[in-house]
A and B are shown apart, each in its own frame.
Chain A
């Protein structure tokens, strides 16, 4: 039962990592503000269900929509900015959302958070969601759209010269990524059963980015593997769990220097034989 709980929490975070992977791996966008979307998703679903009696599946859908909407609104002014500006602006965004949640205490409970959500989310839903999201990510990556995005990631200037509409691509990816992250937040609310405005700060967002890099920008399976290892690490290595983040940092620095494709850069979702057959076509 305990390991199930660990798997649950690990998988929740893996959904968030996938959201970041989509954004960072595909278009090279860095965001320190994932917390904003996690919170928006979590609070939208929780408020809809607890305060307005909206049925659970609808509440989930609402959370996803809000995430996408926020992504769209935020993207309009910010997606044309340089990478590091975008990084900081997203940080500012998460601070804004946090302040907003604290301020609207009547609705959100403020610092006291919201508790008492029933346990609607279990392992099957979370794992199922991962499968679906992985499928979406994989298809996107393989498609023409995805290849254009990777071109943007590697060299924005060149991509725009070849006629790729950089802004439009980034926006689409950002919206999908935000929706996924908000979805993860909603799942969090109904499986951990307690939310407060501080649940996801810039450090956690930074870790998502870092894990993505460790897993490898080109490898979905690698990113999932890295995420699973990091978030369940503590359970298997209790005695050094306190040093978990320091270890992660050291590993990341080494990986980036010596194996920039990611620790699992060779790992592919498709077994190599199948891959060879596909490209042979």
Chain B
């Protein structure tokens, strides 16, 4: 039939097979050590991606100044995954098979992590990320039975408390330190990150014997939540949990204030800067958990170093990039090799990695950190202050 098209396809197949022959093989023994990264550099959460990249580059620069690892310099190979699962899969595959990196630092967006997770298990180059969705590390996780997460994906690691753990932090604080008994929540129905936090929050609250008076959702593109907030106001709960992305949280808070919702607002770790600029004084009196604080004297050095390098103040994910790439580099050092298998084993065996966000102990059963405390912060006017530097909630 269409001879030319048929020919084209045959050529493509041949090219494909040929490239397969040249792919694979041992990573180079000399030359720079390559660490791969795929992040959201454009699209909705671009700020997080670009912050993480800056943190990562800073850490690599420090290592290189000190002589690198095993006498070799370190190079960051980074691709934009545009918050898209297919782009993330492409980027990861390229990093693992073409660029032959020792390990990959992945985007923290849940759906990219969930798409890459099975690919990582097959391709066998380990991925480290902040994706809080439990399924990235333990694919069989069922939110209705959080105590039994199932086996871990050997090639995927999480470096911060998971969604359920983070929700427990703020819920626990609200119950034990703020004396709250009744709660409502407003979350993005189309966002797995928000939904998991919501489920985690509801699970913890109910387990502690307190009441969820109502749970309200909105669709991902919505910017106006007055309809939901009017109902929330009517229910009159003590606390309102709002665990979404920055712009949505800010809109929710401003509108809730306007309508006169009396509940105290409780947030997630997306309430850190720039929430203070976007929400302003409407956020007054709100509490939220975060991985770090900015007035902890033991972390001031990072603020200075980062500002000297990039000319701006670090934000939450600047810390993430710095810590997580540090975790990777330290594992490579301990493994004494850039063989992804050995690096993976070193990662699984990590106990007491000193990150800025705390000491990371990887639980080999879940590939998530164990016993990592979080900070609790609050808004006074439009200023953020630290309330607790290291808080661990009571078990439900």
Contacts and interface: CB of A to CB of B under 8 A. Distances in A.
A5 interface: yes
B59 to A, nearest CB: 23
B3 A1 contact: no
Interface stretch (A72-80, A127-135, A167-175): A127-135
A224 B5 contact: yes
A174 to B, nearest CB: 25
A1 B85 contact: no
Nearest to A197: B190
Interface stretch (A55-63, A209-217, A266-274): A266-274
Contacts of A134: 2, 5
A153 interface: no
A2 interface: yes
A115 interface: yes
Contact of B195 (A112, A192, A199): A112
Interface string B213-228: 0000001100000000
Interface stretch (A17-25, A31-39, A43-51, A233-241): A233-241
A211 B166 CA distance: 43
A241 B2 CA distance: 32
A115 B5 contact: no
Contact of B24 (A1, A138, A238, A274): A1
Interface residues of A, number: 42
Contacts of B24: 1
Interface stretch (B92-100, B264-272, B313-321): B92-100
A194 B85 contact: yes
B58 interface: no
A115 B118 contact: yes
B111 interface: yes
B9 A127 contact: yes
Contacts of B196: 112
B231 interface: no
Nearest to A114: B114
Contact of A112 (B12, B19, B192, B220): B192
A123 B16 contact: yes
Q: What interface size band does chain B fall in? A: 35 or more
A120 to B, nearest CB: 13
Nearest to A202: B221
Contacts of B98: 2
Nearest to B112: A194
Contacts of B194: 111
A256 interface: no
B16 A4 contact: yes
Contacts of B15: 3
B348 interface: no
A131 B133 CA distance: 39
Given A135-B1, A235-B90, A111 B9 contact: no
A115 B86 CA distance: 14
Contacts of B93: 1-2, 5
A193 B5 CA distance: 29
B3 A274 contact: yes
A116 B90 contact: no
Contacts, number: 115
A104 to B, nearest CB: 12
Contact of B20 (A1, A192, A235, A238): A1
A242 B83 CA distance: 12
A137 B32 CA distance: 50
Contacts of A194: 85, 111, 114-115, 118
A3 B79 CA distance: 16
B13 interface: yes
Interface in A122-172: 123, 127, 130-131, 134-135, 138
A208 B94 CA distance: 25
A97 interface: no
Nearest to B199: A112
B90 A9 contact: yes
Contact of A102 (B4, B5, B190): B190
Contact of A238 (B79, B89, B143): B79
A196 B135 CA distance: 14
Interface string B188-200: 1111101110000
Given A7-B12, A269-B5, A115 B139 contact: yes
B3 A98 contact: no
A6 B90 contact: yes
A271 B190 contact: no
A221 interface: yes
B37 to A, nearest CB: 13
Nearest to B133: A112
A234 B89 CA distance: 13
A260 interface: no
Contacts of A127: 9, 12-13
A193 B118 contact: yes
The winner among B6, B86, B191 for most chain A CB atoms within 10 A is: B86
A226 B196 CA distance: 40
A57 B20 CA distance: 28
Contacts of A5: 89-90, 93
A135 to B, nearest CB: 7
A3 B19 contact: yes
B159 interface: no
A2 B96 CA distance: 9
A113 B15 CA distance: 35
Interface of B: 1-6, 9, 12-13, 15-16, 19-20, 23-24, 41-42, 79-80, 85-87, 89-90, 93-94, 97-98, 111, 114-115, 117-119, 133, 135, 139-140, 143, 188-192, 194-196, 219-220
26 contacts: A2-B98, A3-B23, A4-B16, A5-B89, A5-B90, A7-B12, A102-B189, A111-B189, A111-B191, A112-B133, A115-B114, A127-B13, A131-B6, A134-B2, A192-B85, A194-B111, A196-B192, A198-B220, A221-B5, A234-B87, A238-B79, A242-B41, A242-B42, A269-B4, A270-B2, A270-B4
A-B pairs, top 8 by smallest CB distance, nearest first, are: A269-B2, A194-B115, A2-B97, A1-B23, A3-B19, A111-B195, A5-B93, A2-B98
